[in-house]
């Protein structure tokens, strides 16, 4: 049994819409007289679908669509539009309405539209519920030396860290900073072998040289092998570049007063500050970073 909330300031129109849909014995109905009333009803008893008029006092159907999308993203909204309001209906679709049906075609189109939207939304709810059951995610990436991939990967993993509820927002951002630093080190210092010293002296030349090397061998063929495992006990990132490696113990301590004025050299320090455990392989081209869950 699915519940449909019919929102319309006209009692006649509410009855009309119900009349079309009540032929389906699997539907039950709730009612509201405008958008604000509709939101109140949803709060008390969330329906499976909202069917709303567009033009209403207090809160319009368009505003109702926006609010439902924001607060109840898994509840679809179908708009009923009077003649001449198709432009607003398009706006509403852009704001997140699932569909719209002109009031002049309720008898013909409403039942099928409701069936289709309910089926899609049911599948989405099941998927969302399934995702809540995921306890561990593992990815393996092999990246080329395209810098724009790094923010994309960091964003991708942040979304999954949030979904798995591994830590609070601050913890998530700290992990993101550490990961970004590790991937940037792998790309610029590892694969492309452009040094912090060059960046210190001439930032423009640093990025120019990196761009030149991205197109030349042996740098062009080098990749970054990245594995990420997200789970409740711990999050583990392993970043391995294809460069010659380095000695992590040779990096000057940027917090030493003698080094505070250096413009570079803080990446590894931030990784160590924000992850619980950091290890390097012997060659110095692989870093393992572990963050234990706060849950």
Residues that bind other proteins (CB under 8 A): 147-148, 150-151, 154-155, 170, 173-174, 176-177, 180-181, 184, 199, 203-204, 207, 254-255, 260-267, 269-270, 273-274
Closer Cβ to other proteins, 34 or 181, answer by number? 181
User: Least CB distance from residue 111 to other proteins, whole Å?
Assistant: 45
Of all helices (H) and strands (E), which one includes residue 271?
helix 267-274
User: Least CB distance from residue 205 to other proteins, whole Å?
Assistant: 12
What is the rounded CA–CA span in Å between residue 134 and residue 194? Answer: 40
User: Least CB distance from residue 121 to other proteins, whole Å?
Assistant: 31
Closer Cβ to other proteins, 51 or 153, answer by number? 153
Q: Do 31 and 14 touch, CB atoms closer than 8 A? A: yes
User: Least CB distance from residue 230 to other proteins, whole Å?
Assistant: 19
User: Least CB distance from residue 239 to other proteins, whole Å?
Assistant: 15
What is the rounded CA–CA span in Å between residue 63 and residue 19? Answer: 26
83-92, long-range: CB < 8 A, 24+ apart: 85/54, 85/55, 88/54, 88/62, 89/54, 91/62, 92/54, 92/61, 92/62, 92/65
User: Least CB distance from residue 211 to other proteins, whole Å?
Assistant: 9
What is the rounded CA–CA span in Å between residue 187 and residue 37? Answer: 55
Closer Cβ to other proteins, 83 or 148, answer by number? 148
Q: What are the start-end ranges of the E strands in the chain? A: 2-7, 27-32, 49-53, 77-81, 99-102, 136-143, 224-231, 234-241, 277-280, 286-292
Q: Do 49 and 55 touch, CB atoms closer than 8 A? A: no
User: Least CB distance from residue 82 to other proteins, whole Å?
Assistant: 40
Closer Cβ to other proteins, 200 or 216, answer by number? 200
Closer Cβ to other proteins, 100 or 206, answer by number? 206
Closer Cβ to other proteins, 160 or 262, answer by number? 262
Q: Of 91, 54, 95, 56, which is closest to residue 73 (Cα–Cα)?
A: 95
Number of H helices, E strands in the chain: 10, 10
Strand order, beta sheet including 49-53: 27-32, 2-7, 49-53, 77-81, 99-102
User: Least CB distance from residue 287 to other proteins, whole Å?
Assistant: 15
């Amino acid at each position: 049994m699915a519940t449909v909330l019919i929102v319309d300031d006209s009692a006649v129109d509410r009855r009309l819409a119900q009349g079309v849909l009540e032929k389906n014995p699997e539907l039950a109905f709730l009612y509201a007289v405008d958008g604000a009333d509709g939101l109140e009803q949803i709060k008390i008893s969330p329906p499976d679908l909202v069917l709303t008029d567009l033009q209403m006092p207090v809160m319009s159907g368009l505003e109702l669509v926006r609010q439902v999308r924001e607060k109840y993203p898994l509840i679809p909204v179908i708009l009923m539009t009077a003649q001449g309001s198709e432009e607003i209906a398009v706006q509403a679709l852009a704001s997140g309405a699932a569909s719209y049906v002109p009031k002049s075609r309720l008898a013909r189109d409403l039942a099928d539209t409701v069936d289709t939207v309910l089926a899609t939304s049911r599948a989405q709810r099941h998927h969302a519920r399934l995702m809540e059951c995921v306890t561990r995610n593992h990815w393996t990436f092999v990246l080329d030396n395209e810098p724009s991939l790094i923010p994309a990967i960091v964003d991708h993993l942040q979304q999954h860290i949030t979904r798995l509820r591994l830590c609070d927002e601050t913890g998530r951002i700290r992990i993101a900073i550490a990961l970004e630093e590790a991937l940037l080190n792998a790309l610029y210092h590892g694969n492309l072998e452009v040094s912090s010293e060059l960046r210190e002296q001439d930032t423009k030349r640093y990025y120019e040289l990196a761009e030149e090397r991205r197109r030349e061998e042996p740098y062009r063929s080098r990749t970054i092998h990245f594995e990420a495992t997200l789970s409740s006990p711990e999050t583990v990132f392993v970043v391995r570049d294809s460069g010659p490696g380095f000695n992590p113990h040779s990096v000057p301590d940027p917090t030493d007063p003698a080094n505070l004025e250096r413009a570079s050299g803080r990446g590894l320090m931030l990784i160590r500050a924000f992850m619980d455990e950091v290890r390097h392989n012997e060659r110095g081209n692989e870093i393992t970073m572990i963050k234990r869950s706060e849950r």
